[in-house]
């Protein structure tokens, strides 16, 4: 079968990918409060973000492809168009919202007032709700028993009603005002039981939690099992958990900090290494996941004389833009004859590399310059073989 190869990009990063990353990281507060692609329904149009958007470096499939195109033409924060990033669980929301005004209270006064919506250097006059709450139960950054909360002036403003009890998640703007909107988990108390239960449990929480799902994403027949071991590597060492036959896994009691996640299947030597996950504070959580395909990639590592180089690590790095990104990868090890095989590779674009000892990384087909490597496009359900990495120097 013929491999489809393309020369790695040497110029500027394509605008569509740079634009998407900028929106995800800087466009607005709500655009950065996310961990996964599941959404809490506050009548905001779901726009997949968080880990799935960041994992677009890894996947290049599913919803992200369409949203890369959409994001590239937006010139305003996505929430202006009713697009929200809202985590599906209270602990994931807490990971980004902790330390901000949070309370249960009754709206005792609701009025419309003039305000200014600031979009970068542009100021737009708007009308927002100004709501005075009688605080019944403060959780964080709620210094008084009467809190004044403003809308933001977008179509995602929350519409409060006088006399109704709410769980309010707010934030303090640069003007000092506390604001909120539908692109939070703000809700009537009658609809916020899970959040309230979680917030009340925070004083007893020990550490944080990482959970996720190992799943096949290819359309063809599944090859192998989802069972295996998950390892979360942090500053305090490795934390391990089993992945059951449903693909689910969970690790609890993790100290705040950054973790690198690795999935090792029971029946293959291919490891799946994820983006960093962050537990910022006790009680918070991060939702992750592992994507499995049904393609196989194999080859060999040799030196300039054609002699096999045995027992070296070989990696497939996900790439959307043709550039080398070292964070998300599949990893295996060459055998005693220098041959390697990756199992359960999904349909995506990859950069292949090996790192034998003191030589440093060598990229396919035989360069130490990542910008000169060949990008390998893996079709769904196919076998890609005969990939030879030629290491220039080996001792």
> What are 16-70's pLDDT values in tens digits?
223 333 333 333 333 333 333 333 333 333 333 333 333 333 333 333 333 333 3
> Which pLDDT belongs to residue 25?
33
Q: Which two tokens stand for residue 205?
A: 């929480």
The CA distances from residue 315 to 160, 185, 276, 334, 350, in Å, are 53, 40, 17, 10, 9
Q: Global pTM?
A: 0.76
Q: 237 forms bridges with which residues in the sheet? A: 234
- Average pLDDT of the segment spanning 236-246: 95
pLDDT band at residue 218, thresholds of 50, 70 and 90?
confident
> Which pLDDT belongs to residue 393?
65
What sign does the CA torsion over 304, 308, 313, 315 have?
positive
Its CATH architecture, for the domain 205-292, is Sandwich (2.60)
In angstroms, rounded to a whole number, what is the distance separating the alpha carbons of residues 9 and 374?
Answer: 9
DSSP string for 239-299? EEEEE-TT-EEEEEEEPSEEEEEEEEETT-S-EEEEEEEEE-STT-EEE--EEE-SEEEEE
Determine phi and psi for 103, rounding to 5 degrees. -165, 165
> Which pLDDT belongs to residue 10?
29
In angstroms, rounded to a whole number, what is the distance separating the alpha carbons of residues 85 and 78?
Answer: 9
> Which pLDDT belongs to residue 72?
35
In the chain, ranges of CATH 2.40.50.120 domains: 97-203
> Which pLDDT belongs to residue 29?
32
What sign does the CA torsion over 7, 10, 16, 20 have?
positive
CATH class of 97-203: mainly beta
In the chain, ranges of CATH 2.60.40.1120 domains: 205-292, 295-391
- The CATH fold assigned to 295-391 is Immunoglobulin-like (2.60.40)
pLDDT in tens, 172-209: 988 899 999 998 999 999 999 999 999 999 999 999 99
pLDDT in tens, 130-144: 999 999 999 999 999
Q: Are 18 and 67 in contact (CB under 8 A)?
A: no
Top pLDDT among 77 and 158 is at 158
Q: Are 58 and 348 in contact (CB under 8 A)?
A: yes
Q: Are 225 and 265 in contact (CB under 8 A)?
A: yes
List the single range of 80-89, 120-129, 258-267, 302-311 with lowest mean pLDDT: 80-89
For the chain, what's the residue count? 395
């Amino acid at each position: 079968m013929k491999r489809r190869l393309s020369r790695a990009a040497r110029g500027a990063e394509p605008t569509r990918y740079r634009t998407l990353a900028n929106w995800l990281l800087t466009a607005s507060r709500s655009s950065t409060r996310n961990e996964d692609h599941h959404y809490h329904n506050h009548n905001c149009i779901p726009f997949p973000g968080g880990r799935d958007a960041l994992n677009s470096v890894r996947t290049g499939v599913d919803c992200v492809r369409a949203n890369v195109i959409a994001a590239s033409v937006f010139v305003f924060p996505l929430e202006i168009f009713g697009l929200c990033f809202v985590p599906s669980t209270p602990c994931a929301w807490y990971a980004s919202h902790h330390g901000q005004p949070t309370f249960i209270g009754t709206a005792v006064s609701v009025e419309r007032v003039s305000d200014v919506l600031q979009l970068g250097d542009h100021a737009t006059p708007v009308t927002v709700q100004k709501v005075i709450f009688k605080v019944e139960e403060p959780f964080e950054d709620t210094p008084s028993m009467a809190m004044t909360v403003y809308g933001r002036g977008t179509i995602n403003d929350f519409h409060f009603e006088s006399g109704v009890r709410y769980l309010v998640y707010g934030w303090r703007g640069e003007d000092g005002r506390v604001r909120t909107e539908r692109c939070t988990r703000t809700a009537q108390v009658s609809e916020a039981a899970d959040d309230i239960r979680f917030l009340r449990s925070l004083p007893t929480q020990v550490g944080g939690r990482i959970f996720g799902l190992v799943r096949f994403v290819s359309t063809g027949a599944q090859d192998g099992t989802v069972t295996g071991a998950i390892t979360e590597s942090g500053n305090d060492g490795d934390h391990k958990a089993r992945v059951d036959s449903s693909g689910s896994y969970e690790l609890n009691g993790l100290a705040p900090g950054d973790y690198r996640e690795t999935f090792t299947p029971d029946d293959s030597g291919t490891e799946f290494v994820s983006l960093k996950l962050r537990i910022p504070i006790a009680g918070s959580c991060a939702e992750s996941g592992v994507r499995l395909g049904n393609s196989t990639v194999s080859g060999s590592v040799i030196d300039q004389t054609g002699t096999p180089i045995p027992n070296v690590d070989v990696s497939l790095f996900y790439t959307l833009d043709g550039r080398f990104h070292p964070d998300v990868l599949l990893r295996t090890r060459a055998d005693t004859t220098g041959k390697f095989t990756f199992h359960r590779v999904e349909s995506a674009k990859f950069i292949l590399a090996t790192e034998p000892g003191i030589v440093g990384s060598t990229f396919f087909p035989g360069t130490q310059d990542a910008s000169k490597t060949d990008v390998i496009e893996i079709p769904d359900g196919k076998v890609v073989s005969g990939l030879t990495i030629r290491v220039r120097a080996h001792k």
